[in-house]
């Protein structure tokens, strides 16, 4: 059987020098950083991806290990395996670059939890990071790569440097990339439960799987928290091995973040015409690469607790864009009505109470499940 490398996990990253203080950024000196992930698909071998894309200094890797996770910071010591990079156990990732490990001959399957431990001997400076990692990470002083448990570790709510796993899978295996904002990334769902709506949807598929390239706070048209979606296409979709479909949710931050960040000064996002033009350009670019593109309506957010986010102008744009998406003139292969899946039936511009994560802007685990259940899986004929 012929095999090829296919993405089985992805985490989109953010520039630590952006973000307006909405997420914690940090660096490391003489620390072992241990982070976990869950594979969306399996294969006969794997390789790990690390990124210094937004670093200001070369990133020194004093050692990296892969292991099967037990719980928390714990690993199965019998599975602990040093990673190598071009045959060496240490490496330096240049500024703006990424690094892929040598293959590890380890059969893995969908749903398996793995842990990657990095020893960072020097001052890394602010790290290239992920706002919403799969689970809480851990950091301890010194080199503790093989420690079964990291006693007294600092907990890390953000992910650092770890951006993906590829697996050696049968040739012809196809996957979807979930692409967009916090509703894609899974903000406000339970850490470590893999309950984002793309993850839940992935588990419904009978072949292939979905990897997640969401960034909380991301926008379609403007760099703010992460590069804007249109500029992320090449790196976060087209460069993902095995991609054939793209599932998109975007728009909440284009409509709400300008007012939130400027609050109490008034600020407006794009017009409906500008946003529709951006979505059309997004679909056209992905179609030109031969991909199937699934759009989605913009989720409800009326009454959110975030100051300045909910404006009448933004709500009007959302209504107009969603009407366009649900009509016949949009450029997508299909549209998932995300908004309807979680809307309060009596107040459809608000999230239904049992799906509300508490801030009126994000959905909880139950809401993510409702979205995943509302998707016709035949649209993802991978």
3-state secondary structure 209-224: EEEEEECCCCCCCCCE
Residues 181/217, Cβ–Cβ less than 8 Å: yes
Give pLDDT, residue 265. 87
Task: State residue 382's pLDDT score.
Answer: 87
Distance CA 277, CA 282 (A): 9
Listed by start position, the domains of the chain span 3-165, 174-379
- pLDDT digit of tens for each residue in the chain (382 aa)? 899 999 999 999 998 876 555 666 789 999 999 999 999 999 999 999 999 999 999 999 999 999 999 999 999 999 999 999 999 999 999 999 999 999 999 999 999 999 999 999 999 999 999 999 999 999 999 999 999 999 999 999 999 999 999 999 999 999 999 999 999 999 999 999 999 999 999 999 999 999 999 999 999 999 989 999 999 999 999 999 999 999 999 999 999 999 998 888 888 899 999 999 999 999 999 999 999 999 999 999 999 999 999 999 999 999 999 999 999 999 999 999 999 999 999 999 999 999 999 999 999 999 999 999 999 999 998 8
- What homologous superfamily does CATH list for 174-379? SGNH hydrolase (3.40.50.1110)
Burial class (CB in 10 A: 0-12, 13-18, 19+), 252: buried
Predicted TM-score of the model (pTM):
0.97
CA dihedral 262, 315, 270, 359 (to 10 degrees): 50
């Amino acid at each position: 059987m012929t095999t090829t490398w296919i993405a089985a996990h992805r985490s989109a990253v953010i520039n630590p020098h952006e973000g307006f203080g909405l997420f914690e950024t940090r660096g490391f000196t003489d620390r072992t950083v241990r982070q976990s992930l869950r594979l969306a698909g399996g294969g006969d071998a794997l390789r790990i991806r690390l990124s210094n894309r937004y670093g200001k200094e070369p990133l020194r890797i004093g050692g990296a290990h892969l292991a099967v996770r037990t719980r928390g910071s714990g690993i199965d010591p019998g599975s602990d395996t040093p990673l190598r990079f071009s045959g060496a156990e240490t490496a330096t990732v240049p500024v703006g670059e990424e690094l892929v490990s040598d293959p590890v001959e380890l059969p893995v399957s969908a749903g398996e939890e793995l842990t990657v431990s990095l020893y960072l001997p020097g001052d890394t400076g602010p790290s290239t990071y992920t706002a919403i990692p799969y689970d809480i990470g851990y950091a301890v002083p010194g080199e503790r790569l093989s420690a079964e448990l990291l006693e007294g570790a600092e907990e890390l709510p953000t992910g650092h440097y770890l951006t993906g796993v590829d697996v050696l899978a049968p040739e012809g295996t196809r996957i979807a990339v979930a692409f967009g904002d916090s509703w894609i990334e899974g903000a406000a769902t339970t850490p470590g439960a893999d309950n984002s709506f793309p993850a839940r949807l992935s588990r419904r598929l009978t072949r292939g799987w979905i990897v997640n390239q969401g960034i909380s706070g991301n926008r379609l048209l403007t760099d703010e928290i992460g590069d804007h979606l249109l500029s992320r296409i090449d790196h976060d979709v087209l460069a993902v091995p095995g991609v054939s479909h793209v599932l998109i949710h975007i728009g909440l931050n284009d409509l709400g973040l300008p007012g939130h960040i400027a609050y109490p000064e008034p600020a407006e996002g794009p017009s409906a015409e500008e946003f529709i033009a951006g979505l059309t350009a997004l679909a056209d670019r992905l179609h030109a690469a031969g991909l199937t593109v699934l759009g989605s309506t913009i989720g409800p957010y009326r009454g959110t607790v975030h100051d300045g986010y909910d404006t009448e102008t933004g709500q009007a744009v959302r209504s107009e864009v969603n009407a366009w998406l649900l009509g016949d003139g949009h450029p997508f292969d299909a549209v998932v009505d995300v908004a309807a899946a979680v809307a309060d039936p009596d107040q459809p511009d608000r999230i239904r109470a049992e799906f509300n994560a508490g801030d009126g802007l994000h959905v909880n685990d139950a809401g993510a499940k409702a979205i995943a259940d509302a998707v016709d899986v035949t649209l993802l004929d991978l």
